[in-house]
Structure 1
Amino acid sequence: MKKGVLAVPLFWRIFALNAVVLAAATALLLWAPVTVSVPVVFTEALVLLGGLAVMLVANAVLLQVGLAPLDRLTRRMATVDLLRPGQRLPVARQGGVSQLIRAFNDMLARLEAERAASSTRALSAQEAERRRIAQELHDEVGQSLTAVLLELKRAAERVENADLRADLRHAQETTRESLDEVRRLARRLRPGVLEDLGLVSALTALATELSTHTGLAISHSFQPGLPALDEQTELVIYRVAQEGLTNVARHADATHVEMSLRHSDGVVGLRIRDDGRGLGLAHEGAGIRGMRERALLVGATLDLGASPTGGAEVNLLVPLNRNGA
C-alpha cells in the first residue's frame, strides 16, 4: 500500500471478507433458478445446504488468509530466544497487524539490548569475583598449605620411628596433592597464562591440563598469524573453549577431542569436535547458555551440532570488524 493511504484496521478487513461471502450468497439466491417449497423438498434442501457449505469454506479460507500474520506472530512469540538475536518477522505492508508485528520487532530489539547489557555487567562481576577468589586461594590457602608441607617435611626428618615417619610422609604427599589441586583451581578461575602469554598459549595449557587431569585425548591446531584481539574477546574465546572441553569430559563419553582456532575473511573461529555420543535430544543446560551469553558480548555466534566423527561440534565465530584486528 502506498504511503499516505489510510491503513485498513483488522476489524474492517474481516468485516469486508464476510461481506463478500454474504454478497455472493445473496446474488446466488437472487439469480439462481431455485425456489423453496413448503414443506422443503429434498433437492431444494440439498441445494441450500451445498450453498451453505460453499459459503463456510470460502469464509474459512478468506479468514485464514487474513489472520495468517497473527499466526506467524504467535509462533514466533512462543519460540523466540534472546540468546539467538536477530529473530524478526517481515513487515510487508501497513495496517493493524503490520503495526503489531513492527511493535513486536522493536520490543525484541530493546530486550536483546537490555539482555546484552545485563549479561555484560553480570559476566564482568563474575570474572572479578573469580579473580578475587583465585588470588585468595593462591595467597592464603596456597601459602598455608605450603607452610604445612614444610612443617611435615621437617617433622619427618626429625622422627626416628619408621612407622611414624611413614605416616608423616603420607600426610606430606596428601598435602602436596591438595596444594596442586588448589593451584589448579586458581588457574581455572583466573587464567594467568592468558594475560601473560596470550590466547594460543592459554588454550594449549588448558588442553594439556584437562587431558592430564581427565585422561581425555585432546589434539589442538592453531592457524599461524592469528590477528591481535582485545582482552575481552580473548577471554570469551578462552571461556567458551574451557566450558566446551569440560562438557565433553563430563557428559560426552568421548575418547578424543579436536580443538582448532582459525581465522579468515574477518572472522576468528573456534571449533571443538568430539567422538562421543552427541547432543541427542538433550536440552541446553546452564553451561551452553552461558557460552551463548559470552558470545553475545563480542557479537559472536555460537552453533552446536553433530560432528562428522559422530559426536558433537561447537563452533564459535567472532567477527573482527566488531572488535578490530
Structure 2
Amino acid sequence: MLGKMLGNEYLLQVFKNIQDGIIIMDDSREILMMNPSAERLTGWEVAGRVPFCSFCEDRKRSEGENRCYLIENEEVPYFLSKMPTYHGKKIDVEMSTALMYTDPLNDRKEYLLVLRDQTLQLKEKEARFSKLMIKNLIEAKESEHKRLAQELHDGVGQSLYSISVALQAIVSYVNNPKLNTYIEEVRLELQKVMNDIKLYSYQLRPHSIDQLGIVPTLNTLIDSVRKVHPDIHIHFDTKFLDRCSPTVEINLYRVVQEALHNITKYAQAKHVHITLSKLEDRLTLQVIDDGIGFTKETIQNEGLGLKHMEERIDQIGGTFVINSARNEGTSIQIQIPKWKEESI
C-alpha cells in the first residue's frame, strides 16, 4: 500500500531526501522499505527486523501486550529512547509511529516509523550546559575574589595599620634605645606585611575597576608591570572613556593581566602594544608583542592560560583570536559586540 503511495514522484523525492529516518515495517517489525537517511543512521537493511529500543527492552508489560510500545499503541507522538544500530552501538533517537495500512484479508498491518537523530542536539545541549557551568564558575570565582580582597583591605589591612600606629606610640614612651631600635625593626617588618597584603588584595580584585572602570585599572596594572620589568616597553593606546558592564570590565582586565603574565614569563619581548578602542558597535582589544612566539603544539600542551582567556571572552559574547609563530611574536585580537551594561 505504502509502496503505491510512493509511486507519486513528489512523495518519492520527499521520502529520499528528508533528513529524518523513515522506515515502513509490518507488525512483526520486518522492514519493508526505508529511506537513505534511515540507512545511514542505523545501518539496517530491508527484510531485516527493527530491534527493540532501550525503552521497550526495559518496560513492564501486561500479559499479551506487544513488547514494542510503538506497535502496541499504533500511533505515538515523538518520544526519546536509545536504538541499537547495525554495529551494536546505541544512539539517542526521537521516535514516532503511525499505523498506515491494515490488509482487510489477513489483518496484516504496516507502520510508518520515523527516527530523528538526537546525538547532535544532545551534544549542543551539553555544550550549552558546559558554557553555563563555566560562566557560573567564573562569576563565583570573581565574587569570592572581591570578597577576599575587601576583607584583606578593610579587615586585615586596617588591623595591621592599627598595630603599626600603636607601636609608633609605644616608642615615644620608651626611653630604652635598644628596645626602641627593636620596636622600629618590628614596625618596618609590619609595614612590609601591610604592603604585601595591599598587593595581594589588588591582585585578587583591584578596587579601581569597580570605582573608576577598565581604563584607569589597566593603566595601574601596566605601570606595575613596567616597574618590575623596566626592560619591556609597554605602550597602552586608548581614547575609550565609557564604562562597560562590570562583567565585561573584569574579564577584559583578567585577559590583559594573563597576557602580560605570559609575555613577561615566556615571550622574551622588548615591546608590547595594547590597544583598547570602540569601533562602531563593538569594543576591540589588541595585545601585540615582538617576542619569540610559539607553535600550535605549545598551545595544546601548555596553553591553559590561553584557554582560560578564550573562555572568559566567550562568556561575554566576544570573539578571541590569537596568532603566533616562532620568532614572529604574538597577537591577541578581541572583539565584544555587547559591552554596555544595558546590552548584556
TM over 0.5: yes
TM-fit CA distance, 1:146: 0.8
Taking the TM superposition and a 5 Å limit, the aligned residue runs for 1:180-259 are 180-215=195-230, 217=232, 219-225=234-240, 228-259=243-274
Taking structure 1 as reference, are residues 205 and 322 closer, same or farther at Cα in structure 2, changes over 3 Å only? closer
For 2:174 and 2:292, the matched residues in 1 are separated by 54
1:300 aligns with 2:300: no
Residue aligning to 1:171: 186
Residue aligning to 2:100: none
Residue aligning to 1:130: 145
How big is each residue's C-alpha offset from its partner over 1:35-90, in whole Å with a ceiling of 9 and x where there is no partner? xxxxxxxxxxxxxxxxxxxxxxxxxxxxxxxxxxxxxxxxxxxxxxxxxxxxxxxx
Letter in 1 for 2:225: L
1:310 aligns with 2:325: no
TM-fit CA distance, 1:218: 5.0
Letter in 2 for 1:129: E
1:272 aligns with 2:298: no
Letter in 2 for 1:287: G
For 1:307 and 1:229, the matched residues in 2 are separated by 33
* Consecutive unaligned residues in structure 1, runs of 5 or more: 16-98
Residue aligning to 2:14: 3
SS of match in other structure, 1:299: coil
TM-fit CA distance, 1:309: 7.7
SS of match in other structure, 2:133: helix
For 1:270 and 1:309, the matched residues in 2 are separated by 23
TM-fit CA distance, 1:230: 1.7
Taking structure 1 as reference, are residues 191 and 321 closer, same or farther at Cα in structure 2, changes over 3 Å only? closer
Taking structure 1 as reference, are residues 225 and 241 closer, same or farther at Cα in structure 2, changes over 3 Å only? closer
Percent identity (aligned): 24
Taking structure 1 as reference, are residues 265 and 160 closer, same or farther at Cα in structure 2, changes over 3 Å only? same
Taking structure 1 as reference, are residues 271 and 181 closer, same or farther at Cα in structure 2, changes over 3 Å only? same
Give the number of the structure with larger relative contact order, counting CA–CA contacts within 8 Å between residues 6 or more apart.
1
Taking structure 1 as reference, are residues 143 and 157 closer, same or farther at Cα in structure 2, changes over 3 Å only? same
Letter in 1 for 2:268: D
Taking structure 1 as reference, are residues 14 and 172 closer, same or farther at Cα in structure 2, changes over 3 Å only? same
Taking structure 1 as reference, are residues 182 and 13 closer, same or farther at Cα in structure 2, changes over 3 Å only? closer
The answer on whether the counterparts of 2:277 and 2:283 sit within 8 Å (CA) in structure 1 is yes
For the aligned residue pairs, the C-alpha RMSD in angstroms reads: 3.3
SS of match in other structure, 1:254: coil
Taking structure 1 as reference, are residues 227 and 108 closer, same or farther at Cα in structure 2, changes over 3 Å only? farther
The answer on whether the counterparts of 1:216 and 1:257 sit within 8 Å (CA) in structure 2 is no
Letter in 2 for 1:254: A
For 1:109 and 1:11, the matched residues in 2 are separated by 19
Taking structure 1 as reference, are residues 322 and 191 closer, same or farther at Cα in structure 2, changes over 3 Å only? closer
Residue aligning to 1:29: none
Taking structure 1 as reference, are residues 14 and 315 closer, same or farther at Cα in structure 2, changes over 3 Å only? same
**Normalised by the size of structure 1, how large is the TM-score?**
0.63
- State how many pairs are aligned: 242
SS of match in other structure, 1:320: coil
TM-fit CA distance, 1:239: 1.5
Taking structure 1 as reference, are residues 308 and 12 closer, same or farther at Cα in structure 2, changes over 3 Å only? closer
Letter in 1 for 2:244: L
* Consecutive unaligned residues in structure 2, runs of 5 or more: 1-11, 17-21, 23-34, 46-115
TM-fit CA distance, 1:158: 4.3
Residue aligning to 1:41: none
Letter in 2 for 1:149: S
Higher helix share: 1
How big is each residue's C-alpha offset from its partner over 1:177-208, in whole Å with a ceiling of 9 and x where there is no partner? 22112112112222221111111111111111
Between 1:266-275 and 1:129-138, the stretch displaced more is 266-275
Residue aligning to 1:320: 338
Higher strand share: 2
Residue aligning to 2:307: 289
For 1:190 and 1:260, the matched residues in 2 are separated by 22
The answer on whether the counterparts of 2:245 and 2:339 sit within 8 Å (CA) in structure 1 is no
Taking structure 1 as reference, are residues 223 and 135 closer, same or farther at Cα in structure 2, changes over 3 Å only? closer
Letter in 2 for 1:3: V
